[in-house]
Structure 1
Amino acid sequence: MIFGPYTFLILIIFVASLLIQGYLSRTYGQWGNVRNSRNLTGAELARRMLDENGLSNVPVNPVPGNLSDHYDPIRKVVNLSEANYYSPSVSALAVAAHEVGHAIQDKVRMPALVLRGHLAVPLSLGMNLAPLLLLAGVFLHFTGLIWLGVILFGAALLFHLITLPVEFDASRRALAYLNGRGLTGGRESQGARAVLTAAALTYVAGFAMALAQLLNVLGIARSQED
């Protein structure tokens, strides 16, 4: 890490991110041990929700890993971690409904999701290059490289900013479906909301980290010009 005026803020956000990850793991684990009253597995819930939204052509597949659940907009597949695919827990319902929420976004061509899809590959490359360009610029005293790194850090912030409404909307769709179909109620509804809220906090932390990093490299760039 190159130290700048916001390095301490980055460290604080990093620690907060670790705490949020721990909170997510605890919340997910807690409700992962609670069987939902409808005895639906994540796979069954996803299949039902997809079919009811005119997405019977979208398959639901199990994938290895912990919390590796995701919707693949290129292959049009809902991928659920094996634990959520086979489990009839409250956590499995919440996560499965969230991923199907992304599939519905794809169907209706939600602008933020479409934009994120177009920017994902180039911005991921830029995010990997940004620290290298910054380091090279500082050590070579080449301000052009430093400012190019700043631009790429700004692009990373843009990606995180676009991600927030996409994830929040998917969780909104998930909770609306679960509660609207009577699949969760009372304590189960609270559990599903808790799981999705904990997951949302990780995206907020990611945005905060990207913002702090951008402010930090801006400070470094300005100091190099003085």
Structure 2
Amino acid sequence: MPYYYYGFDPTYFLVIIGAVICMIASARVKSTYNKYSQYRSASGMTGAQAAQRILNSAGIYDVTIQHVSGNLTDHYNPSAKTLNLSDSVYNSTSVAAVGVAAHECGHAIQHQNSYFPLTLRTAIVPVANLGSTLAWPLILIGLFFTRNTGAVLINLGIICFSFAVIFQLVTLPVEFNASARALRILGEQGILSDSELPYTKKVLKAAALTYVASAAAAILQLLRLVLLFGGRDRD
């Protein structure tokens, strides 16, 4: 292949760039959260209490708030209708914790309102998971077949991986919308004051950038696959 020089694969830099982007985003969200987790909200509400109030005000009574282990492992499960808050959020009264809890409530409200990007993301989860699982095996197996058969398998692998990329891209509007809903609700209901909202906004913005980083890394990996194998059937 023309991309190799004495066994060196220059396209691997795309993987390194993606990994660095993700590491920077992860470090930023952790440092931002840790900073604003020191700011106690004036309302004194914990993340769990704020979440319960937001859900009730939205007319959502069939979602269970659960305490899960870990740090920033918070998530909303639409199939089980559970809002899972981590150790650093569930009992914390910080503006950071309240913001994260409100963000997860934003997903529950999206679910209730049949927000299309969330519905689409939920629908493609099985395809994205299957694509991620099959992509590299198909590509590696394709390398051992003749040109035509190998090219078909490799291209199928690239297509499978593209489903995972699509999932990452669809996730972006879901996360940004949930954060926007959270900030609006926190302000409207007076859970956080006008002086506290900017702090929470910084936390949610940093968290959103981790999804942007993941999408960028996935796109770079897909680009690498295309550069390495996309022209195999023309060799």
Over the residues paired in the alignment, what is the CA RMSD in angstroms? Answer: 1.7
Greater displacement, 54-63 / 128-137: 128-137
Q: Out of 21, 25, 29, which is 2:30 matched to?
A: 25
Structure 1 vs Structure 2: percent identity of aligned residues?
42
- State whether residues 6 and 212 of structure 1, in contact with CA within 8 Å, keep that contact through their aligned partners in structure 2: no
Match of 2:128 in 1: 123
Instruction: Give the drift of 1:182.
Output: 2.6
Instruction: Give the drift of 1:32.
Output: 1.3
Q: Distance in 1 between matches of 2:40 and 2:180?
A: 22
Larger fraction in helix: 1
Greater than 3 Å deviation, 4+ residue runs = 2-6
Larger-Rg structure: 2
Q: Distance in 2 between matches of 1:14 and 1:69?
A: 23
Q: Distance in 1 between matches of 2:101 and 2:230?
A: 46
1:137 is matched by which residue type in structure 2?
A: G
TM-score calculated relative to the size of structure 2: 0.90
- State whether residues 95 and 196 of structure 2, in contact with CA within 8 Å, keep that contact through their aligned partners in structure 1: yes
Instruction: Give the drift of 1:188.
Output: 1.8
Q: Distance in 2 between matches of 1:222 and 1:78?
A: 42
- State whether residues 64 and 82 of structure 1, in contact with CA within 8 Å, keep that contact through their aligned partners in structure 2: yes
Match of 2:185 in 1: 177
Match of 2:222 in 1: 214
Greater displacement, 63-72 / 45-54: 63-72
- State whether residues 106 and 182 of structure 2, in contact with CA within 8 Å, keep that contact through their aligned partners in structure 1: yes
* 1:14 and 2:19 matched: yes
Instruction: Give the drift of 1:83.
Output: 2.2
- State whether residues 4 and 216 of structure 1, in contact with CA within 8 Å, keep that contact through their aligned partners in structure 2: no
SS in 1 for 2:183: helix
TM-score calculated relative to the size of structure 1: 0.94
Aligned residues: 225
Q: Out of 70, 79, 84, which is 1:79 matched to?
A: 84
Q: Distance in 2 between matches of 1:110 and 1:128?
A: 28
2:103 is matched by which residue type in structure 1?
A: H
* 1:41 and 2:25 matched: no
